Amino acid sequence: MDLNKRVRALNEYVTQSGVTLMIAEIEDFLHNGAVSSGSAPQSGKPRALICFSRLQWQDNPRLRHLLSRCAEDMDVIVFEEVEYSDARNASLHCKGTAAGVLIAAPILPARLGGREAEECQRRLLDQLVAERDIANPILWYDTPMSLAFSDHLKGAAIVYDCAGDLPETSDAPSALLVRERQLLSRADVVLTSEGGYETRRQQHGNVHRVAGGVDAEQWGHAWLRVKGLIDGAILARTAPSAPPAPSTRSRVREQSVRRGFDYLIVGAGFAGSVLAERLASQAGKRVLLIDRRSHAGGNAHDCHNDAGILVHPYGPHIFHTNSRQVFDYLSQFTAWRPYEHRVLATVDGKLVPIPINLTTINRLYGLSLTSDEMAAFLAERAEKPDEVRTSEDVVIGTVGRELYEKFFRGYTRKQWGIDPSQLDKAVTARIPTRTNRDDRYFGDQFQAMPLLGYSRMFDRMLDHPNIKVLLNADFQEVRDEIAYDELIYTGPIDEYFDYRFGELPYRSLRFQHVTLNQERFQPCAVINYPAESVPYTRITEYKHLTGQAHASTSISYEYPCSGGDPYYPVPRLENAALYRRYQALAEKEGNVTFVGRLATYRYYNMDQVVAQALAAFDRLVGAKRTRLSAPMAMGSDERRVRS
């Protein structure tokens, strides 16, 4: 098999099996076309959840809502309470739900009872686990009685969900009370209703009220909350100093009170994660990394959608850099898939390459110019302004007004909500103009995608005993609960200072993600729509980026908007001036380092943020008193390249 086929096969293997591969195993796969037997990983994120339910699926709406959502992320098996029949042998009846949950209903001969029945269920359960090759699942108990036949299973985390209407413990049969005590001593997380909360809190250190929902959105929130609690429990278990049961937050609080963290890092995107990794692994610091989202990775986060296609929920992220240092640094945590980004634009009813190059001009105008002729063609049209200040000046000064209007004006007005004449030159200067046929979007020396995706790369980066990660936690919420020596802040700088001088403008995006029942949608990863009459700016088809083989395909439309998550700092003179006022405050802030795209209000690519974080690390461990990260030199794509 050639390398391309192996990479495709590897992607398929990983998607279908859901395993986490170590670098050596990836190399093994690429070399031999398969992972050697015995090298299949045992650890990594759980890929399955087994729920022990005391009711049948159709009678348990709460589980139906929560676990159907869980099935979007992993295999979910619901092992129902036993039913007795006049059959001679025990059997397990399995059926799948529309949401992809597997319902396993044990049917036992009526003559069996007590221990025999428990042993029978244990055997059926073990068979199911072996057949489905389930390792290290999350165990979810809707009833403590199921411990009788499942207490031998090792789980990544144990959830006791007693939010349903269990009998009051004082009236409960003693077998139930015994099993419940056992379960409480094993569980990592206890979910309860409002009514049972106070009682349960006396019994366990990590109890949470999880309200149900009346509509899909509320159930969606409920599940996200539960998912965050489980993730926290799993991470807490892997932390070396962690005691076995109490909640992540109380454990974090305990540790912070006992010894304190050396660093609290706000934001688990590239800036925060790189600093956490460096401080923990190179300086032996104890780090607490928090994020208000339910995942690490910041805007670079990726995940498999319902159809099993790897997508970027916050828009396409393509890695490119000219910095060997940055590339080598990240290569410690991921293997790479060679990928050079190419983009087409729809202009005058034609699909032409952008950045503008020889092919673009020839195709658009039906010409067959040479490179020299194209240079002359552009020189005739370019209108050199006295001073190149704005995004309009840059483009008109290079390609002239007509091409500016076809490719840049509409796109930029949609993307930024203002005219290019009001926007700093750095914005459109990101896009080069070439007189040769090089149609790559970036000219950088290193261009590649993390082989198994960004999230796997972040998992590896943060997998260190000195790093604790707390998700779904806003800085405001935890700042007074945590003891730490130094703070690294990667969120919006104006928010940190409570908008004292007013809000810094950010541009946001609304993504419409669509999965289509066809193998391919468009000829390349991204197609730009510069016309103002089209409400979106670009469509991305993710399989081009990831190389994933799949019968369906997922695309996203990007609609720029002013509200919503702060995605883009807006490069304009007055915004830079407002930022400088915040920057002056930041410089006076003792023991706080501001790093990243939002905290330094810079339109940075991923590699620039990594470089900025590495530089901040050097300063922190070297000259400890320098607090504000200096801007790094512009990446090559921010310079205008001509050839």
Residues that bind ligand FAD (CB under 6 A): 266-272, 290-293, 298-300, 314-318, 474-475, 490-491, 509, 567, 596-598, 604-607, 609
Question: Tokens at residue 418, please?
Answer: 């203002």
Task: Give dist(CA 350, CA 295) in Å, integer.
Answer: 40
Candidates 21-29, 92-100, 240-248, 404-412; binding stretch for ligand UDP (CB under 6 A): 404-412
**Residue 431 binds which entry of ligand UDP, ligand FAD, none, CB below 5-8 Å type-dependent:** ligand UDP
Residue whose CB is less far from ligand UDP, 455 or 605? 605
State which residue, 103 or 300, has the beta carbon closest to ligand FAD: 300
Residues 509-528 that bind ligand UDP (CB under 6 A): 528
Size of the site for ligand UDP (CB under 6 A): 13
446 binds, among ligand UDP, ligand FAD, none (CB under 5 to 8 A by kind): none
Beta strands at 484-489 and 553-561: parallel, antiparallel or unpaired = unpaired
Nearest to 157 by CA among 182, 143, 140: 140
Under the binding rule (CB under 6 A), the answer on residue 530 touching ligand UDP is yes
CB nearer ligand UDP, residue 273 or residue 391 = 391
Considering beta carbons, is residue 392 or 637 the nearer one to ligand FAD? 637
Residues in the chain, overall count: 643
With CB cut-offs between 5 and 8 Å by kind, which of ligand UDP, ligand FAD, none does residue 407 bind?
Answer: ligand UDP
Q: Footprint of ligand UDP on residues 285-314 (CB under 6 A)? A: none
CB of 392 closer than 8 Å to CB of 420: yes
- Tokens 């059997």 correspond to 91
Residue 601 interacts with ligand UDP (CB under 6 A): yes or no:
no
Q: Which is nearer to ligand FAD, 382 or 598 (CB)?
A: 598
User: Nearest distance from residue 311's CB to ligand UDP, in Å?
Assistant: 16
74-82, 140-148, 331-339, 409-417 -> range binding ligand UDP (CB under 6 A): 409-417
Question: Residue 318's binding partner, choosing from ligand UDP, ligand FAD, none, with beta-carbon cut-off 5 to 8 A by kind?
Answer: ligand FAD
**One residue of 223, 333, 407, 557 binding ligand UDP per CB under 6 A:** 407
Residues 532-551 that bind ligand UDP (CB under 6 A): none
Q: How far is the CB of 411 from ligand UDP (least distance, A)?
A: 3
Q: What stretches of 33-113 show up as alpha helix (H) in DSSP? A: 61-70
Cβ atoms 247, 97 nearer than 8 A: no
In sign, the C-alpha dihedral spanning 31, 35, 37, 41 is positive
* 51 phi, psi to nearest 5 deg: -110, 130
427 makes contact with ligand UDP (CB under 6 A)? yes
Q: Which is nearer to ligand FAD, 142 or 607 (CB)?
A: 607
Q: Distance between CA atoms of 544 and 523, rounded to whole angstroms?
A: 9
Which partner, ligand UDP, ligand FAD, none, binds residue 354 by CB below 5 to 8 Å per kind?
A: ligand UDP
Partner in contact with 415, chosen from ligand UDP, ligand FAD, none, beta carbon below 5 to 8 Å by kind? ligand UDP
In this complex, which beta carbon is closest to ligand UDP, that of residue 418 or of residue 585?
Answer: 418
Closer residue to ligand UDP, CB minimum distance, 237 or 513: 513
Taking the least distance from each CB to ligand FAD, the nearer of 79 and 604 is 604
Nearer to ligand UDP, 289 or 378 (CB): 378
| 193 vs 331, beta carbon nearer ligand FAD | 331
Q: Tokens for 605?
A: 């690519």
With binding defined as CB under 6 A, does residue 557 bind ligand UDP? no
Quick check: helix, strand or coil at residue 215? coil
Min CB(325)–ligand UDP separation in Å: 22
Burial class from Cβ neighbours inside 10 Å (0-12, 13-18, 19+) for residue 216 reads exposed
What one-character DSSP code corresponds to residue 429? Answer: T
For residue 506, the minimal CB distance to ligand FAD (Å) is: 10
Describe the crossing of helices 270-283 and 606-621 by its angle, rounded to 10 degrees. Answer: 40
* 415 binds ligand UDP, rule: CB under 6 A: yes
Question: Angle between the 391-399 and 371-381 helix axes, to the nearest 10 degrees?
Answer: 130
Q: Residue 411, interface with ligand UDP (CB under 6 A)? A: yes
Reading across the β-sheet that carries 467-470, which strands appear in turn?
Answer: 467-470, 287-290, 261-266, 484-489, 592-594
598 interface partner picked from ligand UDP, ligand FAD, none, CB below 5 to 8 A per type: ligand FAD
345: contact with ligand UDP by CB under 6 A: yes
- Count of other CB atoms within 10 angstroms of residue 533: 6
- How many other C-beta atoms lie within 10 A of the C-beta of residue 479? 13
- Which candidate, 337, 268, 334, 348, places its Cα nearest to that of 300? 268
427 binds, among ligand UDP, ligand FAD, none (CB under 5 to 8 A by kind): ligand UDP
State the minimum distance, in angstroms, from the CB of residue 276 to ligand FAD: 11
Distances (CA, A) of 635 to 378, 432, 446, 561, 640: 25, 13, 12, 26, 10
Separation of alpha carbons 192 and 403, rounded Å: 62
* From ligand FAD, ligand UDP, none, interface partner of 530 (C-beta below 5 to 8 A by class): ligand UDP
Based on the shown chain and the rule CB under 6 A, indicate whether residue 354 belongs to the binding site for ligand UDP. yes
Q: Which does 596 bind (CB under 5 to 8 A by kind): ligand FAD, ligand UDP, none?
A: ligand FAD
Query: What is residue 82's DSSP assignment?
Result: P
Half-sphere exposure of 437 (CA within 13 A, CB side): 6
Residue closer to ligand FAD (CB basis): 80 or 607: 607
Contacts of 476 (CB under 8 A, 6+ apart): none
String of DSSP letters for 539-597: EEEHHHHH----SSEEEEEEEEESSSS--EE---HHHHHHHHHHHHHHHHSTTEEE-ST
Q: Which does 475 bind (CB under 5 to 8 A by kind): ligand UDP, ligand FAD, none?
A: ligand FAD
CA distances from 427 to 60, 336, 397 (A): 54, 28, 14
Binding of ligand UDP at residue 352 (CB under 6 A)? no
d(CA 371, CA 44): 52
Sign of the dihedral through C-alpha 227, 229, 231, 237? negative
Contact between 412 and ligand UDP (CB under 6 A)? yes
d(CA 316, CA 299): 10
CB of 557 to ligand FAD, least distance (A): 12
Task: Tell me how crowded residue 390 is: count the other CB atoms within 10 A of its CB.
Answer: 21
Q: Is residue 430 a contact residue for ligand UDP (CB under 6 A)?
A: yes
Q: How far is the CB of 390 from ligand FAD (least distance, A)?
A: 22
Residues that bind ligand UDP (CB under 6 A): 345, 354, 407-408, 411-412, 415, 427-428, 430-431, 528, 530
